[in-house]
């Protein structure tokens, strides 16, 4: 199935099992490498177990000695954002870029012992569940009753009635739209990669947008200044709110201006904010001329934690919005879409005013890197 057909007929609508979506799959990380990640402060990990008929959820980091034994069944270790730390996981995620980056979230990899899983549940986002090693039995249901068992450490459906069931082998993949009930249980040791998406909640965006708008000077100069009440009369009811206060604020709020272009600028800045756990590597100062030479020789790549987006007029990188002129925008869009510029491409655009300066700044921030190998 081509991405075009998938997006038209399946995406966000219905589940799909794709046998051998990735034939001959090689796990992006080994079990040991996954355990190492779970031991890091800057990596989000969880341990879910179902021992003696009780669900338990613990948060990492986990030293390997603190994990249950591999011989014990019914536990699973889930590591979030593996794509930020491992190139193979990042490459895997990039295969899903037929969905816009603004919707892509991360690659989570789980390792489970026999019988391990997180229980029957639903997720709020679309997900591709790719079996990377071993076997897992998936049961799914289109049920609309999604009540959860109360007072549980994790989301478990109180009533789950499977309608379809498959055992996934390495390379098999299951796509699920949001709110689709599912339960995956390991058959022997196994690893599953979840390519996860995000969909911002309108209510949350509204709050962030209003905060952004109140900081935006353009067209909203009315918000400058403070409440002033020269001529206010002496009061016998000091606790009573002055009527003029609410009136003055309401007038200012009413006069606030925004339009679709501003919403797009806000969204680009907001959605390109790096994930909280991301720490960009410190970079040694390097003179601009030397930097330009290196970039021309090797090309540049976005750091794994960088998020680059663009709209009609802006380029966004890690929460910053830029309004580049058309001749620069062309290259920045290419950088965002490919996540790199080759040595030839950098050489072709290096003479454009400000471009190498900007790349240099981004590189010192740790957002952009000289390509480790020639790209």
Q: Which residues bind Co ion (CB under 5 A)?
A: 123
Residue placing its CB nearer to Co ion in the complex, 117 or 268? 117
The only residue of 117, 134, 299, 305 in contact with ligand SIN, by rule CB under 6 A: 117
Residue placing its CB nearer to Co ion in the complex, 119 or 274? 119
- Tokens representing 338? 């490919």
Helix, strand, coil in percent for the chain, rounding step 5: 30, 25, 45
Q: CA 271, CA 316: separation in Å to the nearest integer?
A: 9
Q: Of 181, 144, 179, 185, whose CA–CA distance to 167 is shortest?
A: 185
Stretch that binds ligand SIN, among 27-35, 52-60, 123-131, 323-331 (CB under 6 A): 123-131
- Tokens representing 52? 């003696």
The only residue of 118, 174, 328, 355 in contact with ligand SIN, by rule CB under 6 A: 118
Q: Is 27 exposed, middle or buried (0-12, 13-18, 19+ CB in 10 A)?
A: buried
- Report the interhelical angle of 202-215 vs 260-271 (nearest 10°): 110
194 touches ligand SIN by CB under 6 A: yes
The per-residue b/e assignment along 129-154, b for 16 or more CB within 10 angstroms, e otherwise, is: bbbbbbbbbbbbbebeebeeeeeeee
Q: Shortest distance, CB of residue 191 to ligand SIN, whole angstroms? A: 8
Q: Shortest distance, CB of residue 129 to ligand SIN, whole angstroms? A: 6
Q: Shortest distance, CB of residue 291 to ligand SIN, whole angstroms? A: 42
Q: Shortest distance, CB of residue 26 to ligand SIN, whole angstroms? A: 18
Q: CA 300, CA 356: separation in Å to the nearest integer?
A: 11
Q: CA 132, CA 172: separation in Å to the nearest integer?
A: 8
Residue placing its CB nearer to Co ion in the complex, 199 or 281? 199
DSSP string, 59-122: ES---GGGSPPTTS-SEEEEE--GGGT-HHHHHHHHTTTTS-TTTEEEEEEEEE-TT----SB-
Binds 110: which of Co ion, ligand SIN, none (CB < 5-8 Å by kind): ligand SIN
Q: Shortest distance, CB of residue 128 to Co ion, whole angstroms? A: 11
Question: x-or-dash pattern for ligand SIN, window 225-254, by CB under 6 A?
Answer: ------------------------------
List the interface residues with ligand SIN, window 74-103 (CB under 6 A): 76
Total interface residues for ligand SIN by CB under 6 A: 11
Residue placing its CB nearer to Co ion in the complex, 39 or 123? 123
Residue placing its CB nearer to ligand SIN in the complex, 118 or 303? 118
Expressed in angstroms, the distance from the first to the final Cα of the chain is 29
The only residue of 134, 184, 304, 305 in contact with ligand SIN, by rule CB under 6 A: 184
Q: CA 295, CA 369: separation in Å to the nearest integer?
A: 9
Q: Shortest distance, CB of residue 136 to Co ion, whole angstroms? A: 12
- Tokens representing 230? 């020269």
Binds 306: which of Co ion, ligand SIN, none (CB < 5-8 Å by kind): none
Contact set with ligand SIN (CB under 6 A): 76, 110, 117-118, 123, 127, 129, 182, 184, 192, 194
């Amino acid at each position: 199935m081509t991405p075009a057909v998938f997006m038209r007929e399946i995406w966000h609508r219905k589940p799909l099992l794709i046998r051998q979506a990735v034939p001959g799959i090689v796990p992006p990380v080994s079990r040991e490498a996954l355990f190492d990640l779970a031991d890091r402060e800057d990596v989000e990990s969880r341990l879910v177990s179902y021992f003696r008929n009780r669900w338990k959820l613990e948060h990492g980091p986990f030293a390997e000695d603190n994990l249950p034994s591999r011989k014990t069944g019914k536990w699973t270790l889930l590591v979030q954002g593996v794509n930020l730390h491992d190139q193979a996981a990042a490459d895997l995620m990039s295969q899903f870029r037929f969905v816009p980056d603004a919707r892509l979230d991360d690659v989570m990899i789980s390792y489970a012992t026999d019988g391990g899983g997180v229980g029957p549940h639903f997720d709020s986002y679309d997900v591709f569940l790719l079996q990377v090693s071993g076997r897992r039995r998936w049961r799914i249901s289109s049920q609309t009753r999604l009540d959860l068992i109360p007072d549980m450490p994790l989301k478990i459906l109180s009533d789950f009635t499977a309608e379809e069931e498959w055992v996934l082998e390495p390379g098999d993949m299951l796509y699920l739209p949001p709110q689709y009930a599912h339960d995956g249980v390991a058959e022997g040791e196994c690893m599953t990669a979840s390519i996860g998406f995000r969909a911002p909640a309108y209510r949350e965006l509204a709050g962030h947008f209003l905060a952004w708008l109140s900081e935006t000077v353009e067209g909203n100069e009315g918000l400058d200044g403070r409440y002033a009440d020269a001529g206010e009369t002496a009061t016998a009811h000091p606790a009573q709110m002055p009527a003029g206060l609410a009136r003055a604020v309401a007038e200012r709020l009413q006069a606030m201006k925004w339009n679709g272009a501003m919403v797009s600028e806000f969204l680009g800045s907001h959605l390109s904010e790096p994930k909280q756990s991301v720490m960009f590597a410190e970079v040694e100062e390097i003179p601009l001329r030397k930097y330009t030479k290196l970039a021309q020789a090797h090309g540049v790549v976005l750091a794994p934690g960088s998020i680059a987006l663009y709209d009609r007029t802006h380029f966004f990188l890690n929460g910053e919005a830029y309004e580049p002129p058309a001749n620069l925008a062309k290259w920045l869009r290419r950088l965002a879409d490919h996540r790199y510029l080759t040595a030839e491409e950098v050489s072709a655009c290096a003479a454009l005013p400000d471009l190498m300066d900007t790349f240099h700044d981004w590189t010192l921030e740790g957002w952009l890197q000289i390509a480790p190998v020639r790209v």
